[in-house]
Each structure stands twice: as structure tokens, then as C-alpha cells.
Structure 1
Amino acid sequence: MIPYVQSFEAIESVTAVDPLTVKVRLKRPFAAFLTTMAMFPASIVSPTAVKKYEGEFWKHPVGTGPFQFDSWNVNQQLTLLSFDDHWRGRPEIDGVIFLPVGESAVRVKQLLRGEIDIADNLPPAEIDSLAKNPHVIVQEKAGMNTGYLTMNNDKAPLDDQRIREAIWCAIDRDQLIKSAYSGHATKAVTLVPPTLWGSHTDLTDREYDPEKAKQLLAAAAADGVPTPIRLQLFVMTDPRPYMQQPRQTAIFIKDSLAKVGIETEIVTNENSQHFRRMTRGEHQLGLAGWTADMPDPDNFLYTLLDLDNINDVGGNNMSRYRNQKVHDLLAQAKVEMNQETRAELYRAAQEQIFADAPLVPLVHTSVRNVQSDAVSGYLLHPSSLNRLRLSKLAK
């Protein structure tokens, strides 16, 4: 992943000062280093196990968490056991079993039958229905995420800013939130969620305005943009925290664009293939999103919109947006150690990004989960990570 790759590249040396202290010297300033190293992928692991298993370490993980790896039947079941000697003390529960179940309806039935204790990533309507059950607890808090419509700026007619702005104005995001998120989201204007410092909350949005969209399309057509405009819209099969009903969202966008004269073909791929194809730039339009790896605007703006991150092997700038001013602002923010100055740089970058409209920010979703009333102490995390150390299960 981009953030900790940057951190590793910035490291000049690592020295053990004592058994509990490590000294890290960087080659260059990197303002987000500490927050990056606080990410879960940067957790300390056993050097003995790494040497023993080498490339197979991922099958035999040994770390410093409150649970220890027990067994993993890929795509069927992952089992963790509580670690008796954890430095914070043994967790209250004996262990955790993760069961990947693709169908949300099946997960709901498993929860109601008492076969599972927690279900996540359920459609909003399912959660609203379960909330009426006295034996079910629904948790909700504002998340650190963004769902957006990416537009491939390398492909005509999306290389024309007027077309991109027209698409923005054609989508009623307030209505999208009602229909695809059951109201449990807020309208996005920038990629940086308002729960994160550095979000430019004072940007004046492009409001839903189909007539303006038609005018922009007509102006582009008068300058030679071929009409009618026909676009492909890539959509993933399975929900994500920021895209809880991808198929419904895609149909909503398709219908919205049809009203202003843009024809859209929906192309569906399973999730990994969906993002792989968009990374390679095969799409014109595509549903995408991001959940914070770390609480820093760099994780959204640089990762998703910097020209450094355009490539065919994992670059997350799927809009293929290139703006030297934005790149310079983001580069300066990387080495600026004063947070308020950094915030000003990020606000300036967001203003330029908004003006260029390389993508359409759609929503910032609430993080929600459903659990049995036998579970207590489970703290919902705004990044959608599972934190189960303090959880208890009534017997």
C-alpha cells in the first residue's frame, strides 16, 4: 500500500536502543511518518518467525496483538485465540472466528439464529430492519471514508472538463443518499472526509442542476465533442463500506445521466478484477472509494489524485488526473511539520482539484455494524477495522 511504502523508502536506518525502544532515522522529512507507522500493517512482528517462514510468513503470522493466530482455511474460516501473556492483559473472550459469507441475507439469518455474534457490511435497509429486533444492537458513527465516481481523464470525452462538470451536476447526491444509503451518509464535496483534519469544509459545492449539465454538454458539442455521448460505467459486485449498494448506485447514476443525454452501459466485475481493470485505465466511469489507512489528508489526496500514483500495477489515481500545482502542494505538505500550515496546503490542493473536477465525490458514509445483544465492549472504529480486545460475550 502506498502510505507505508513511502515510509519504508524514507527510512535510512533503524537501531534498537533497548528492548522496548527503536530509533528510526529518516533520509528526508516525512510529516505523516508517525501516523503511517501507527497503521495496522506497520505493527511489530516476530523477526524469528519472519526468518523461519520468509515468503510464507503471511500464512504463519506472529505479532504483538491481543490474539494469536490459530488456523486459517482460506475463504472459509480464520481462527484466532486470546493471548494469555499480552502486555495489556488477556482479552475477556477466548478467541475470534472470522467467517467470510458473501450473501448479506445469509449473514442476517446466521445472526438471528445465534450462529454468529457480529455481522458487518450489511445493506442499509437490512440494518434498519434488524435495529427493530430487541436482541440486536446496531452501532453507528461517522466514518473516515469517501465513495466517489472516478472519471478517466485520459479518455475522450472525459478529457473535457465541461463533460466532467456536467456529470457532477447531473447526479442528485442527496437523493442517492436516501435511495442507496437509507440516509446514513453525508454528501461529499472533496475526497477528505469532514471527520479528518484538513478537510476543506468551506468549499461551495456544485449543486444538482440537470439544466446546467445540459448546457455544459451543448457547449462541448458545439466545439466538436461527438454526440450522443456513450460511456461505460464499471461497478463492483460486492459492497464496500463506502459503497454499500454498488449495483443500485450504478443504476441511479445511469438513470441520472440519461436524463441529460448521456448513455451509460454498466459493466460489472468481481471486486478484485474491478479495481485491477480500473488501475490499468480500462474504464471510462467507475465506482470507487477509500477508507482511511491513517488519519492524515495525505492518505486521501496524494494516494488517490497525485500524478505519482498513475500506473498499471496498483496506482490508486484511477482518474489519471495530472495537475502539477496539486502535485507541488501535496509534495510540500509531505515535508511541512506544522500541522496548520499543512492544512492550508491541503485546502489549496482541494480547491484546485474541485475546480478541475477529475472525479465526482459522492458520499461519506456512516460506519455501522450489527451485533447480538450478548456482545458488549465492542468499539466500532471509524476506519471500519475490527477492534475486539475489550469485547465480552455473555454466557
Structure 2
Amino acid sequence: MFAKRVFVVLAVLTVLSMALAACQPAATPTAAPPTQPPATQPPATQPPATQPPATEVAFEPMKYPENPSCDYGGIIKEIAALDRLTVQFTLCQSDPAFPSKAAFSAFSIQPKEWIEAAMADRRILSQPIGTGPFKLEAWNRGDSIVMKRFDDYWGEKAQVETLVFRWNKEAAARLLELQSGTVDGIDNPSPDDFEVIRNDPNLKLLEREALNVFYVGMTNTFKPFDDVRVRKAIAMGIDRERIVKNFFPAGSEVATHFTPCAIPNGCTGDPWYEFDPAKAKELLAEAGYPNGFKTKIYYRDVVRSYLPEPGLVATDLQAQLKDNLGIEAEVVVMESGAFIEESSAGRLDGLYLLGWNADYPHITNFLDFHFGASNPQFGKPHPEIYELLQEAARIADPKEAEDLYTRANNAIRELVPMVPIAHGGSAVAYRADVEGAHASPLGNEYFAVVKPGDRNTFVWMQNAEPISLYCNDETDGESLRACEQMLESLLAFEVGGTAVKPGLATSCDPNEDLTVWTCKLRDGVKFHDGSDLDANDVVMSWIVAWDAKHPLHIGNTGAFSYFSYLWNALLNAPPSED
């Protein structure tokens, strides 16, 4: 049923409407961004004082860049404000997934003036100014984030006055707080507690569809992972079924492919390798490691829907590598932000446990992000994979693209950049009296629609503290969910679903070959600081992330990973070190 739903979504994507935005050139910046270390704990904790809207001046539409070209290798050619309420995206190739990408929170919109004022000193990391149903009241480091209802919200107002985010990495502790009534909803209860929650009349469990993947990553710029025989041996030497059976809840399944089968073309091509330790040892011997080797297993001790028991899985994998392949692996636990940064940059010299929750229901979200030409995560990218993905991404009809994705999936299997382990079932739990309770297959629960009995505050407890609240430069799910309560993108996803609907734009209309998308903004939308949304806010929000040489291309890490991978490359990206 979901596969059919996703197909309908994809059909909707190509007709989803959104109209234009006019242009006047803005000088192409050339200054390099300031060189400073990423701030995993942004400095400020209080939002800026609400400012009255600036005196209205004549609207001067932005167009970027001044001399558009596709020579840099990315998909985006030009972003232009055509008039106050119209933005136009000109692409270098067809992109049927544009509406789903434009609905994603990594492409949220903040005021142009605030970006200019708050990016350089990095206040933007902890003081978002959005258009969402909640606005930031305070970020109490290590304890909570408090948001208040935004009464000037353009859409349906939030059901509660106050929204509080808290966190605890221990599933048992989260459940205890839910049972005691100190929180109203929790993310990712332990699989062992599903029945406990179901049998408690004061609670309710809502299961998520497994639109995710858990994998064991390797980086081919480090020995011995530069040898495909070693990577293939590890793929054959891990009993993946044992891991899923012992550490994942009902509704989980062993991954036959990297992408979940509910996504069109996710499971075309040959299934993954069967567990075969004898063959794996032969491959290791051929590669010169008859007695195995020493390495590390990196992970972050944070529960995810794709990895409900990270510590136990790491220990089991350690034992399997030793018993099946003679590989001695030291388990290394890393801080969450540092782990994401180092793994994303391809700087981990061993195996690592990571995964992916769908951001939007399209195969490009899984394959293009991870195996695209600009992603260093697994080391040197493979043209045998990314060239097929680039061609397939231009095709709107999943059936027409099937052969390309079959070949791409087979190339991933043959080159083994990682080992897909599971598509993990997961759940959220709420107090029984919470109205509007829901679970999102995308992990982006929307708390403006919930009402906890007669209380006017909803308290949510997740697995970890957000890394920052500038989610245009984050890939961490705990950060994204917090941002999504306050910040909005051009389009949006249905609450608890995957269908794309209008957001800050009432429509996004493509031309015939899907290379120009024209988005029409809602009139009268207010930001949390009282200023009005216009097309220049959209242009600025996108270009500071897209252009690596823009003086405000700073963010948290400066990687802007989603812009880089989902649009093939950043504009003016520094040359690869390869």
C-alpha cells in the first residue's frame, strides 16, 4: 500500500505547482568564508529581541549568480526573485524530485536581513527566525528547548501555547518519564518495551513504517578498506539476520538493498550477499589478510529508528568479526556531533555504524546522497555508481528509470562501499490523552497539531540534544525535528505522511522538461521578528548554502551536506584533494 502511495506522491511531484520570482543582479561574492572551527555547541541561548518590521522600501529582486553556468557540475544553474512573491529555480537538468527536495527542512527559509546579521557571528546556529507555528523562547543547554506559539502564524495555529523539547539517550529513562507524566511523548522506545506500552492504558504506541537503513560504513582511502576484496569479505562475514533478530523490533527486516523496498526502484537488481564466512575468509586471504587484521568500530551512543541498540550491535559486530574473520576491532564511542562530522567527511579509519531515515520518499534521497560524486563519506566515490544515478535522477517515470537503478544497485553491491544491515522498525509513544498524536515515516513529527488533554504545554523527549538550530547545515535527525517546529520550506509534507503539499509557496510549477521551477509565495506571511516573507528571503536562504565562496557560507560545519549531495555539487566548491 505504501509503495502505491509513494508512486502517487511522485506523480504529484511533477505537477505540484509553485510560481515565479524576479531578478536584479547582486554582485557575485568572492571572499572566502571565515576559517573557524565548527560550533557543535553554538554560543547564544536566547532568541533575539523581536524587532518591528523595517520601514517598507522598494523591492529590488535578487538574481544569483550574475553569470549562470552549469560548468561547476551541479544541478542548480540560477536562483532568481522575479518579483516580491515569485522565485524561479533554473536547473541544469530535469529534476522530477524537486518538489520533495523543496519540502525538506534543510531548505528552510529565514529573513535575508537576519542571515546577513547573524551568520558571521554564528548567532543563527542557536537563534532561528522562522515562519513556523512555534518560535524560540530559550535553549537551556543540556536540559531543554522551549518554544512558544507564534500567534501571527499564517496557517492553523498551534494547539498548545508552549512546546518543550527534552532529551535522554536511555530508552528506559524516556519511558519512565512518560509513565510518570513528566513528558507527553517520547521518541524511539526500546523494542523490549513495545508490549509494556501497548498494555498500559495510560499510554499509546504508534509504530513508524521502516523508511530507513542501518549500515556498516567503510572508507576506501584507508587500508585495508581500499581493497574491494576486504570490503566484500566483511559483507559476507557479518550475520545480518542475527543482528536484526536479536536487536531490532518487530516490523524490521534484513536489508536486501540499501534503499527500502517501499521506495520505487529501491530493490531492483540482485539482493545483497548471503552470510558465508568460509567464502569471506578466502577473500581476505586473497587480499593478503589470512589471519585478519586490526581495526576499529566507531559509533555514537544515540538511539535512532534505524539503530535501536547501538552499543549492543557494536559489541555483537565486534564478536562476529573476531569469530568469523579473525578481525580484531576496538569499539570506539564518539560524541554525536563529532561522529557525524568525521564520518560525513570520510575521516574515520575503521568501520562505523550509521544509518539514514528518509527525508523525502524518493530513491534519490537514499542513493544520490550517499553515493553521489561529491560525497567523501565512503572515500573516493565510484563513477560506476554515480554516473548511473545522475542519469536516472532526470527521469520522472520510475518504470522508465528502472534499468538504470537496477544497474546502480548492482554496482553498489559489487563495489561494497558499505554493508546494509537492516530496515529498522521503530515507534513513538504518547500519553493516552494526547490528541493529534502521530508517527511520521520521515521522523518529522509536527507538534503544532497535538493537544495533551487539558494542558497547555506539550513536552517531547527525544534521544539527544540538537547539534544546532540552523538546519540548512545539519544532517542530524534530532536537530531537524526541532527546526521543523519553527522553520518552514517552500513546500511541506503532510502531517504523519509523505505526500507533498504547499508550504510557504502556494505552488511550484515546472516547465515542460522540468528544468525550470517557478514558485509562488504566500502573501502576508510573517517571520517571528515581525518582518514579511518575500522572494529575496528565499534566494538568500538558498545561496548562502549553495555557493561555497559566498562570504556567509559559514553555517555550523560549513559542509551544507544536503545542498552538496542532493544538488550534485556546491557552486564554487574547493577542488577535491584526490
Give yes or no for TM over 0.5.
Answer: yes
- Matches of 1:131 and 1:168 in 2, distance apart? 36
Counterpart for residue 110 of structure 1:
177
Alpha-carbon displacement from aligned partner over 1:279-300 (angstroms, at most 9, x marks no partner) = 3433221111112222222222
In structure 2, the gaps of 5 or more residues are 1-71, 455-578
CA contact (8 A) 2:269 2:406 kept: no
CA RMSD for the aligned pairs? 2.6
> Which position in structure 1 is the counterpart of 2:148?
81
Aligned to 1:273, which of 330, 338, 360? 338
Q: Which has the higher contact order (CA 8 A, sep 6+)?
A: 2
The one of 4, 8, 13 equivalent to 2:79 is: 13
1:44 to 109, 133, 137: 109
Establish whether residue 322 from structure 1 lines up as the match of residue 381 from structure 2: yes
Return the letter of the residue paired with 1:246: P
Contact 1:142 1:195 (C-alpha < 8 Å) held by counterparts: no
SS of 2:206's equivalent in the other structure is: strand
- Residue 389 of structure 2 aligns with an amino acid whose one-letter code is L
Alignment partner for residue 307 of structure 2, among 240, 243, 247? 243
Letter in 1 for 2:227: D
- 1:33 maps to 98
Residue 357 of structure 2 is matched in structure 1 by 291
Question: Residue 61 of structure 1 aligns with which residue?
Answer: 128
Structure 2 match to 1:381: 440
Cα distance in 2 for partners of 1:8, 1:86 equals 35
Match of 2:544 in 1: none
Higher helix share: 1
Q: Which amino acid in the other structure matches residue 270 of structure 1?
A: E
Shift of 1:18: 5.7
TM-score, normalization by structure 2: 0.61
Percent sequence identity is: 26
**Matched residues in 2 for 1:372 and 1:337: separation?**
42
Give the Cα separation in 2 of the matches to 1:57 and 1:232.
Answer: 36
Q: TM-score, normalised by structure 1?
A: 0.86
In structure 1, what is the equivalent of residue 371 of structure 2?
A: 305
Alpha-carbon distance between aligned partners in 1 of 2:83 and 2:398, rounded to the nearest angstrom: 29
2:273 corresponds to = 206
Aligned partners of 1:47 and 1:368: how far apart in 2?
38
Partner of 1:334: 393
Alignment of 1:231 with 2:295, yes or no, is yes
1:252 matches 2:316: yes
* Separation in structure 2 between the aligned mates of residue 133 and residue 201 of structure 1, nearest angstrom: 41
1:53 & 1:204 partners in 2: Cα distance?
48
Deviates more, 1:63-72 or 1:363-372: 63-72
Helix, strand or coil at the partner of 1:348: helix
Tell me how far apart the structure 1 counterparts of residues 366 and 98 of structure 2 sit (CA, whole Å): 15
What is the number of equivalent residue pairs in this alignment?
Answer: 379
**Contact 2:257-2:271 at 8 Å conserved across structures:** no
Q: Is there any run of 5+ residues in structure 1 with no aligned partner, and where? A: 1-5, 311-316
User: What amino acid maps onto 2:435 in structure 1?
Assistant: S
**Matched residue type, 1:258:** K
Q: Which amino acid aligns with 2:221?
A: D
State the alpha-carbon separation in 2 of the partners of residues 228 and 210 from structure 1. Answer: 12
In the alignment, is the contact (CA less than 8 A) between 2:187 and 2:428 conserved in 1?
Answer: yes
Equivalent residue in structure 2 for 1:190, among 257, 268, 276: 257
* CA deviation vs aligned residue, 1:46-101 (integer Å, no higher than 9, x gap): 34544554542343323222222322223322122223343332222223111123
Counterpart of 1:365? 424
Spell out, residue by residue over 1:311-352, the C-alpha distance to the aligned partner (whole angstroms, 9 max, x if none).
Answer: xxxxxx2x2253222121122223344443334322221111
Contact 1:46–1:62 (8 Å) recurs in 2: yes
Contact 1:184 1:366 in 2 (8 A): yes
1:17/1:307 CA distance change after superposition, 3 Å:
closer
